[in-house]
Every structure is written in structure tokens, then in C-alpha cells.
Amino acid sequence: QVQLVQSGAEVKKPGASVKVSCKASGYTFSSYYILWVRQTPGQGLEWMGVIKPSGGSTGYAQNFQGRVTMTRDTSTSTVYMELSSLTSEDTAMYYCARAWGDHAPFDFWGQGTLVTVSS
């Protein structure tokens, strides 16, 4: 069955970086895009960007340009999202999700990774 398994919760200090992983299984990794969405009580659901596993091309939301990097490892069917220069406003639940295209609904989601930024 389709699974997107994310790495565990993280606690980071302001100014640090965090790298969250999303391991895919149960389907052909290269056939689906992986998107990242974060959820905060104040901002709701916020699309961060997308990576195309075949080729590795990426697209990032303007709000995160320069701070977010998405990469993939095709040998392990894993996608990574790294967010730098963290502030308390980056405290959120981070989800990966898959879609059949970059203009397609998100048909399966990871379980989420809680990132807490605190001094």
C-alpha cells in the first residue's frame, strides 16, 4: 500500500536549519510529484513547494524562496525538505504529500513532522 513516512519531531533554536525526510513506498517513486505543506494554527495550510522525483526539478513558494531546499534520493525513494534561518514563526507541522502532477490534488499525505523552534 502507498506510504509516505516522515522523520520524527525536531526541536531547533532560532537561526538553525532543519531537514525533514519523506520516504515513499508502495508506488513508483518517479511517477508522482512530492509537495510540502506546513500547518500552523495561525496560517492554516501553506504550500511550500514541489519536487519532481524524476529529474529533481523544484518549485518553491515565494514566501520560502532562499530559505527552503527540496532534494531527493532515488536510490531510497526519499525526498528531503530543508528549511534554514528558522524563527519561532516556523514552528509548525510539516507534511509531505504526493500528486500526479504539479497541478493536481494531493491524493496521499505523510503523517506529519512537528518542528518546534525555541530558544
Partner 1 sequence: DIVMTQSPDSLAVSLGERATINCKSSQSVLYNSNNKNYLAWYQQKPGQPPKLLIYWASTRESGVPDRFSGSGSGTDFTLTISSLQAEDVAVYYCQQYYSIPITFGQGTRLDIK
| 6 Cβ neighbours under 8 A, 6+ residues apart | 20, 21, 22, 23, 94, 95, 96, 110, 111, 112, 113
If the CB atoms of residues 96 and 117 are measured against partner 1, the closer one turns out to be 96
> Least Å distance between CB 15 and partner 1?
26
Considering only residues 85 through 104, tell me which ones interact with partner 1, judged by CB under 8 A. 95, 97, 99, 102-104
Main-chain dihedrals φ then ψ at residue 34, nearest 5 degrees: -115, 130
If the CB atoms of residues 53 and 110 are measured against partner 1, the closer one turns out to be 110
When binding is defined by CB under 8 A, the residue of 1, 44, 75, 119 that contacts partner 1 is 44
